[in-house]
Amino acid sequence: MAERQFSKGVTRARSIMPRARQSLFWAVSACVVSVAFFTGCQRSSPDNRSNVSSSGNHPPTVRAVTIQPVPLVLTSPVTAHVEAQDIDRNSLRFRYQWSVNGKAIPGQDNEQLPAAILKRGDRVSVQVWPHDGTVEGDSKTSESVIVGNSPPMGEALEIEPPYVFPGVRVRARAKLSDIDGDAIQVVYRWLKNGKLIHEGEESEFETVGFVLGDTLAVEAVPSDGTSKGPVLRLGPISVGNTPPRIVSNPATTIVNNRYDYRVQATDAESDAIVFSLETAPPGMQIDAQTGVVTWVVESPQVGAHKVRIVAKDTQGGVAFQEFELNLTTTVTPAEPAGT
């Protein structure tokens, strides 16, 4: 009953509304309907639907592409760094096209560009397309980057002899390369017990003044005249025991078919020295403590015989002496080969 009365009231109110106001009312209503219809058309416009696949997937976008390293040198891999996003949070993969001096390089479609195909002064860029597994997004191209001077690189640093003792002359050998083909200069830094004591282009160094237990280190700083390369370092090396030194010369004569020679040696640390024969003809002997060599020669032993004497101290330092005996009335051995 109440609903019927309400409806009648509305009808009555409309009936008494002036005709002008009724016209305005319907005009406004028509306008509202028209605006609503126009807004709905915008939401379903073809331009907006083109960015979304039939499954509702959005294409990924690349925000930025840069080339690394910065500055661009050829001592490390040339790599494309990509910043991308995907509204649907899909995993992305990328397609690349590298260009050098404005020309696309066939086959160079990976994240990295081989440094071997580049040279100083080349202009490099890369174009990148993102893909979310369903659709590929628009590409983006990096800014062009010019390949700069590449510093020399070190492969290894060695020292000779590998066993260092006080007073010995050592020599550093640096293995270096320069991808631009530039000439390489090297500065060597020699350090004693961690302190720099000499710096220069000399690769040789005297350990005079070192004592047992000191440490020796060497650094090599390469340069191509424009850029310095990474510093190579060797050590610290502990300076070891000074080996003994044989100071005597072999006897040159055989008397009554007997050969006698007393080996004399010194040791910087005054270590005891033990003598031995490493190479000798049959029957030759040496006293381990005194170094006296004796040999009773028998007639079948006529000819040339090699002898190698070893002197070893208690800390493991070793010296040797080599010579050759020719069994004649007067023996003339070769010059001593080492101390």
Look up the CATH number of the domain holding residue 142: 2.60.40
The answer to whether 176 and 186 are in contact (CB under 8 A) is yes
Q: Do 120 and 190 lie in a common domain?
A: no
Encoding tokens for residue 35?
């605006």
Query: Has residue 28 been placed in a domain?
Result: no
Query: Has residue 332 been placed in a domain?
Result: no
Indicate the number of domains in the chain. 3
Domain boundary among the residues 180, 206, 238 is at 238
How far is residue 249's CA from residue 91's CA, in Å, rounded to a whole number? 82
Encoding tokens for residue 292?
């006296």
- Helix (H/G/I), strand (E/B), else coil: 185: strand
Contacts of 124 (CB under 8 A, 6+ apart): 67, 72, 78, 98, 99, 100, 113, 118, 144, 145, 146, 147
Reduce the secondary structure of 154-183 to three states and give it as a string.
EEEEEEECCCCCCCCEEEEEEEEECCCCCC
Whether the pLDDT of residue 119 is over 80: the answer is yes
Q: What is the mean pLDDT of residues 52-81?
A: 89
Whether the pLDDT of residue 303 is over 90: the answer is no
Q: What is the mean pLDDT of residues 89-99?
A: 95
Q: Do 69 and 102 lie in a common domain?
A: yes
Q: Do 233 and 263 lie in a common domain?
A: no
pLDDT for the residue numbered 328: 67
Please choose, from the candidates 76, 75, 93, 74, the residue with its C-alpha nearest in 3D space to the C-alpha of residue 84. Answer: 93
- Radius of gyration for the chain, computed over Cα atoms and rounded to the nearest angstrom: 46
pLDDT digits (tens, 9 = 90+) for 125-179: 999 999 999 999 999 999 999 999 999 999 899 999 888 888 889 999 999 999 9
The answer to whether 110 and 96 are in contact (CB under 8 A) is yes
CA dist list (Å): 273 to 241, 246, 261, 280, 339: 13, 10, 17, 20, 14
Query: Has residue 53 been placed in a domain?
Result: no
pLDDT for the residue numbered 55: 66
CA dist list (Å): 54 to 42, 43, 60: 18, 16, 15
Q: Do 251 and 234 lie in a common domain?
A: no
The answer to whether 101 and 122 are in contact (CB under 8 A) is yes
Domain boundary among the residues 102, 120, 146 is at 146
Q: Do 189 and 232 lie in a common domain?
A: yes
Q: Do 169 and 231 lie in a common domain?
A: yes
pLDDT for the residue numbered 289: 95
- Is omega for the bond preceding 60 within 30 degrees of 0, making it cis? no
Query: Has residue 35 been placed in a domain?
Result: no
Q: Do 267 and 226 lie in a common domain?
A: no
Q: Do 136 and 159 lie in a common domain?
A: no
Domain boundary among the residues 146, 171, 192 is at 146
What is the pTM for the complete model shown? 0.58
Higher per-residue pLDDT: 253 or 119 = 119
Query: Has residue 295 been placed in a domain?
Result: yes
CA dist list (Å): 194 to 117, 160, 181, 189, 190: 42, 20, 34, 11, 9
Q: Do 136 and 171 lie in a common domain?
A: no
Whether the pLDDT of residue 211 is over 70: the answer is yes
Higher per-residue pLDDT: 250 or 303 = 250
pLDDT digits (tens, 9 = 90+) for 1-15: 434 333 333 333 333
Query: Has residue 19 been placed in a domain?
Result: no
Residue 217 one-letter amino acid: A
Query: Has residue 336 been placed in a domain?
Result: no
Q: Do 130 and 104 lie in a common domain?
A: yes
The answer to whether 295 and 333 are in contact (CB under 8 A) is no
Q: Which domain holds residue 180?
A: 153-238
The answer to whether 69 and 81 are in contact (CB under 8 A) is no
What proportions of the chain, in percent to the nearest 5, are helix, strand and coil?
15, 40, 45
pLDDT for the residue numbered 302: 75
Q: What is the mean pLDDT of residues 275-303?
A: 91
Q: Do 105 and 135 lie in a common domain?
A: yes
Query: Has residue 75 been placed in a domain?
Result: yes
Q: How far is CA 240 from the centre of its chain?
A: 31
Higher per-residue pLDDT: 84 or 269 = 84
How far is residue 209's CA from residue 206's CA, in Å, rounded to a whole number? 9
Q: Do 285 and 310 lie in a common domain?
A: yes
